[in-house]
């Protein structure tokens, strides 16, 4: 006897109530399989896509802002070595006892001890715009008294 004939005979021997229960169970199993194989990943993607789109849009806007800032900095005229040195000194003086600057050629090194993150951010902003310097190396550690470490900046070609 063939397996399909055996199944048909077994199905025929089942009571109508048992057939209904088997059909409901098979339907539920089919729906579960359809959910896990076909729909769950699409549903998850559909639910998370708006948040991912917002995150990517914010990242895009941030990159656009940075690109705009880079264009503005590039368009600024170069500064002389004396102007760059003055801008470095002025920015470092605002750090007070938290910062000590040493300059050798087209590189300047700031040693900081106990500075706040806001002070360092302000210093970097002033040095980048006033002296046309860009950070090339930074080793900063967080300590109880603030941030400590070293920042090396390279002066623009026109400032050397």
Express each pLDDT in 51-89 by its tens digit. Answer: 999 999 999 999 999 999 889 878 888 888 888 889 999
Of 152, 65, 62, which is closest to residue 104 (Cα–Cα)?
Answer: 152
Mean pLDDT of 35-53: 89
Cβ–Cβ under 8 Å, residues 81 and 74: no
Q: How far apart are CA 146 and CA 136, in angstroms?
A: 22
Indicate if the pLDDT at residue 160 is higher than 80.
Answer: no
Distance (Å, rounded) from C-alpha 135 to C-alpha 151?
7
Q: What is the pLDDT of residue 65?
A: 95
Residue 29: per-residue pLDDT: 95
CATH fold for domain 81-159: Gyrase A; domain 2 (3.30.1360)
Confidence of residue 93 (pLDDT cuts 50, 70, 90): very high
C-alpha distances in angstroms, 20 versus 28, 34, 53, 69, 94? 12, 21, 46, 70, 84
**pLDDT band for position 90 (50/70/90)?**
very high
Closest CA to 145 of 123, 121, 112: 112
96-142 pLDDT, tens digit each? 999 999 998 889 999 999 999 999 999 999 998 888 888 999 999 99
Helix (H, G, I), strand (E, B), or coil: what is residue 76?
Answer: coil
Tell me how crowded residue 111 is: count the other CB atoms within 10 A of its CB: 13
Instruction: Tell me the domain boundaries of the chain.
Output: 3-74, 81-159
């Amino acid at each position: 006897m063939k397996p399909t004939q055996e199944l048909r005979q077994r199905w025929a021997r089942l009571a109508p109530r048992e057939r209904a229960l088997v059909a409901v169970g098979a339907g539920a199993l089919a729906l579960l399989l359809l959910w896990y194989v076909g729909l769950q990943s699409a549903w998850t993607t559909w639910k998370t896509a708006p948040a991912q789109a917002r995150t990517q849009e914010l990242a895009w806007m941030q990159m656009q802002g940075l690109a705009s800032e880079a264009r503005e900095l590039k368009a600024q005229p170069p500064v002389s070595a004396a102007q760059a040195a003055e801008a470095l000194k002025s920015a470092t003086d605002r750090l007070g006892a938290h910062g000590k600057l040493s300059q050798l050629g087209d590189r300047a090194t700031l040693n900081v001890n106990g500075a706040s993150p806001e002070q360092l951010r302000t210093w970097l902003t002033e040095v980048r715009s006033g002296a046309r310097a860009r950070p090339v190396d930074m080793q900063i550690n967080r300590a109880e008294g603030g941030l400590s470490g070293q920042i090396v900046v390279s002066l623009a070609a026109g400032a050397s």
